[in-house]
Amino acid sequence: MNRRSFLLLTATSVAATPTELVGAFANAPSQSLVSPTSTGAWYVAMRRCGQINYNERDPLTMDAEAWGDYWASLKVDAVLLNGGGIVAFYPTQVPYHHRSEFLGNRDLFGEMVAAMKRRQIHAVARMDCNLAYEEALKAHPEWFERNQDGSPRPHGESPWLFATCMFSTYFTEQMPAIYREINQHYPVDGFFTNGWPSTGSLRVCHCENCRRVFEKLGGVPPAETDSANPIYRKYYQAYMDRVQEIWRLWDNIAREKSSQCVYVGNLGGGLDTVKDLKQLSQVAAWFNADHQGRSGETPIWSCAQQGRVAYSVMQGRATTNVAGAYSNAQPNWRHVSKAPAELTLWLAQTAASGMVPWFHWLGGSPEDTRWREVGRSFFDWLAANDAHFRNRHTIADVAVLYPQRTVAFYSRPESQRPRHRGGPIDYLQGLYYALLEGRFFFDFVHEGNLDAATLRKYRALLIPNAAYLGDAQCGAIREYVKDGGSLLATFETSRYDEWGDLRPDFQLADVFGARVAGEVIGPHGNSYARMERQHPVLEGFQGTSLLPDAENRVPVRADAVPLVLSVVPAYPAFPPEMVYPRTPRTTEPAAVFREIGKSRVAYFAGDVDRTCWRSGNSDLSQLLRNAINWVRGSDPLVSVQGPGLIEAFAWETEPGYALHLLNYTNPNATHGSIRGTYPIGPQQVRFRIVEGHAVKSVRALRSGSTLKFQQQGPTVSFDVPGIADYEVIALA
């Protein structure tokens, strides 16, 4: 059977060829082909998910029924099972679809799907579209990515596999043929692609397909993915268009047999995203964040950050996050378990931030099974309290801008990074840490969603150095402040347009009350801010007239605003004999604080957020907390007072309300793996609910205890006796 015959045979409900389908979808609106809300899709109601990622040798020993029993014991709604792509785990007839050399007469994928179906578990085919064997390379060289010299790109650790190109027919013919074959022969409920499209950096390919793409854009493939390059700017949008085109094609093919069948891509990996999440969310009926764990200096709350990012673009639609049960630190150990305390807290953050936990193990015949009970224990508790995780919307009075373009382009490429710029997410991390210490209730707002309707619910908008910001976004911020919203912004916010072209001044200079007076100064340590007059932002700093200042700053003028914090320029920190200010007092503002009607605006000329994160300085964190308190105003919607470092989420749920408290009080919160739990003491909570609603019970779901409470009008007050690693308080 040749390729064309196979494609025609397996196209069970769509007569067009995959190439024709791509053309048909190229101009389709940027939205999911089928509305999951209107169809009552199964994945919308999903609350627990699992994945067993078996390998090419596993058909020799894998027990499908035993795996079915394990996943059933976790009460999962769906399980991801290896179908094909790199390796087929069923007797495929698609040419150049490599069948596992250990498969023999087995149909391992079919056995696994059947095992799940017997237990009323949805089965999703886990695919890989990124790599293929040399046999396919020889037969279809046009499918593969190429280096500038024309050579194919082998995988770094498995060099017998080669990278496929998204702009080739591998994505529009070969993968659709595999999807159709699986759809025809197995009762799958969806398809998932490992590693694609991801949210990371774009790779420039030099294959003939990509050269034709660049010819249409008016150039040749650039050496680096640099947003200052006009051709790369065009390529970036062409790349995003292609991702959406392929996503729509694959989703349509998945639904050929049933409107309930869905395609889900691989998205997410923390805050550091290059591909536009807003654009990706417009074609995603289901958003899966593949943020399996952390390594190095990544903070433990990185998973919760992922949940906030996902919620900012999906806004309540189906969202999952993969929690790797194996030790995925650096270096990686794929076949031994992650520390139970670390894994449990990762699962807890997933659930607390509104995502559905997706529990993952790699290897079909594990010798280390310690991870199994961690998943079973947590998922069993989730299932017992299922109703309290059916969220309607967040309860938050502060919005934090997720500055997509700044994150994607501001600090890239690494080889051309300006000296004063840190990592692309350091600014957001510093602000985030201050928000945790201040126990604020906040949402992320993706810059693509900056509009009056989105911002209306928030008292204040916080902007951590959104240096690359378009005119439309600046206009929305200006209108928000004009309508009474408050604002905090730092450093180079609005200094450049969305592609990084320098503006003559801040686009938001009129809102800040400050104008650019020179080029960025820094990085310099040992610089200070002098307190010139009393202000609420300076509360708690008795006993000093100096505060540490940012490493980098934009010199600004603010003639019409009283000077509260002035710049003391950097001076030598060594040797001790030279440590004294050469200019002890200036009139240059380190920050500007102003009130415009009902609005309060705080603008920091320096990268105080980034400097706070990198230094860990407590004064900078307190200064940020004070500024957030000032712009937000008093009487928050929810307050939690008590010892320890926690992150809190509040949700309106189907039964009532839920308060999630994550305990990060741990020596390994920002390095290594959580080894154990350090319980913290009583927390005093004030929770404002809808006027006229009477709360009948307050329960701590993890400890299984009923809490005493008082209600005065819309405010419910109660004490949480203690928190081990995670507690959920249900108000009903």
Name beta bridge partners: 82: 126
**545 and 452, same domain (yes or no):** yes
The CA distance from 444 to 702, in Å, is 27
Select from 353, 384, 415 the last residue of a domain.
384
- Its domain, for residue 347, covers 3-27+36-127+173-199+260-384
Contact indicator for 266, 194 with CB cutoff of 8 Å: yes
Peptide linkage before 682 cis (omega within 30 of 0):
no
pLDDT tens-digit map of 22-46: 333 333 333 333 343 445 899 999 9
Domain with residue 587: its CATH number is: 3.40.50.880
Taking the mean position of all CA atoms in its chain, how far away is CA 38?
26
**691 and 598, same domain (yes or no):** no
Please tell me the predicted confidence (pLDDT) of residue 2.
43
**618 and 646, same domain (yes or no):** no
pTM: 0.94
Q: Scanning the structure block, which residue is given the tokens 């508790």? A: 381
246 is a domain residue:
no
**492 and 543, same domain (yes or no):** yes
Residue-wise DSSP of 380-444: HHHHHTGGGG-EEEE--SEEEEE-HHHHHHTT-SGGG--TT---TTHHHHHHHHHHHHHT--EEE
**114 and 7, same domain (yes or no):** yes
Q: Which two tokens stand for residue 69?
A: 């029993």
Q: Which two tokens stand for residue 45?
A: 């109601």
Please tell me the predicted confidence (pLDDT) of residue 31.
34
Map 352-386 to HEC letters.
HCCCEEEEEEECCCCCCCHHHHHHHHHHHHHHHCH
228 is a domain residue:
no
**649 and 626, same domain (yes or no):** no
**335 and 371, same domain (yes or no):** yes
Nearest to 32 by CA among 23, 41, 189: 41
694 is a domain residue:
yes
149 is a domain residue:
no
Contact indicator for 379, 343 with CB cutoff of 8 Å: no
**451 and 307, same domain (yes or no):** no
Select from 333, 351, 384 the last residue of a domain.
384
Domain with residue 713: its CATH number is: 2.60.40.1180
**379 and 428, same domain (yes or no):** no
**327 and 442, same domain (yes or no):** no
Domain with residue 44: its CATH number is: 3.20.20.60
pLDDT tens-digit map of 365-393: 999 999 999 999 999 999 999 999 999 99
Please tell me the predicted confidence (pLDDT) of residue 329.
85
**329 and 418, same domain (yes or no):** no
272 is a domain residue:
yes
241 is a domain residue:
no
Please tell me the predicted confidence (pLDDT) of residue 166.
98
The CA distance from 105 to 86, in Å, is 19
The CA distance from 461 to 409, in Å, is 22
Taking the mean position of all CA atoms in its chain, how far away is CA 341?
22
Number of domains within the chain: 3
63 is a domain residue:
yes
User: To the nearest 10°, the Cα dihedral for 107, 65, 253, 184?
Assistant: 50
Please tell me the predicted confidence (pLDDT) of residue 421.
55
226 is a domain residue:
no
Select from 598, 632, 666 the last residue of a domain.
632
**463 and 379, same domain (yes or no):** no
Nearest to 623 by CA among 443, 487, 434: 434
Please tell me the predicted confidence (pLDDT) of residue 224.
81
Q: What is the largest CA-CA distance in the chain?
A: 85
Stretches in the chain below the pLDDT threshold 50:
1-38, 413-419
Please tell me the predicted confidence (pLDDT) of residue 330.
85
